[in-house]
Amino acid sequence: MSKAVVDLPPKGGFSFDLCRRNEMLISKGVHPPSFRKTGTTIVGLVFKDGVILGADTRATEGPIVCDKNCEKIHYIAPNIYCCGAGTAADTEAVTDMVSSQLQLHRYHTGRESRVITALTLLKSHLFSYQGYVSAALVLGGVDITGPHLHTIYPHGSTDTLPFATMGSGSLAAMAVFESKFREGLTREEGIELVCEAICSGIFNDLGSGSNVDVCVITKGHKEYLRNHQMPNPRTYVSSKGYTFPKGLTEVLTTKITPLKEKVEVIEGNDAMEE
């Protein structure tokens, strides 16, 4: 049988095998599930020595918060980071893909990656999928030509800006930036402004929440401040707690399987003899 049933590792890219079946299900009135989105506030700004990126940490699945502390600032290169808003799987996959492409490029050229390279790779990938890969990104980094900050929209258009916000909380954060941003901020001022903008998104937008992540990139150095601010601690914890006495739930059968130690065979020094 040449049409192999064997599932070999694919050559890469998307596979559309199940599309026809899914279309049939939709026509029968069965709706596809909602994907995990990062209704988000992501920001970036250029300061005196480099770029500061900020993001909130809430991931939502419809109206439910499924992850209270997710990471939205993704690594692209040692000198380039990218914040992602939109469908979580898309932002993760697209940034991972570009990150590996850039690593290969660095091996080929022997040089530090440029932000514009990452930008072009991302925008051409997103454009070729015509917006169906729903990833809105804020890309920032410092390379040989200086600090750069770009925004990338799901359809593939880009902007180059001194300060940028994206996501559902972008208006709340942009309000803070527009009133308080100025050229030539110091590192402390920049971090404070970014935190204020993200907090504005956290408190005023329902899709954003939990903590503030900040990433500071300067020439030759980067600092990823995970959970730099935690303005939403869990305030009420039941003092008594919940105890579950054994036997509360009737156990019908129990099967205990001891796990075997895997024995390692170390080859002796003697060569095999015939």
**Residues in the site for other proteins, rule: CB under 8 A?**
7, 9-10, 13-22, 25, 29-33, 35-36, 59, 61, 64, 66-67, 70, 87-90, 92-93, 132-133, 238, 241-242, 244, 246, 248-260
- Residue 40 annotated among the catalytic residues of the structure: yes
Ranges assigned E (strand) in 115-180? 135-143, 146-152, 158-160, 163-166
Least Å distance, CB 103 to other proteins, is 16
**Least Å from the CB of residue 179 to other proteins:** 34
Integer CA distances (angstroms), 23 to 16, 17, 28, 131, in order: 11, 11, 9, 20
Decide if 62 contacts 56 (C-beta within 8 A).
Answer: no
From start to end of 78-192, where are the E strands? 80-87, 135-143, 146-152, 158-160, 163-166
Residue of 38, 40, 151, 165 marked catalytic: 40
Which three-class secondary structure state does DSSP give residue 34? coil
Minimum CB distance to other proteins smaller for 1 or for 251: 251
Residue 232, both tokens: 């939403």
Q: Which is nearer to other proteins, 104 or 265 (CB)?
A: 265
Residue 38 bridge partners (DSSP): 86
CA distance 174 to 188: 19
CB of residue 99 vs other proteins: minimum separation in angstroms?
A: 14
In the complex with other proteins, which residue's Cβ is closer, 16 or 107? 16
Active site residues: 40
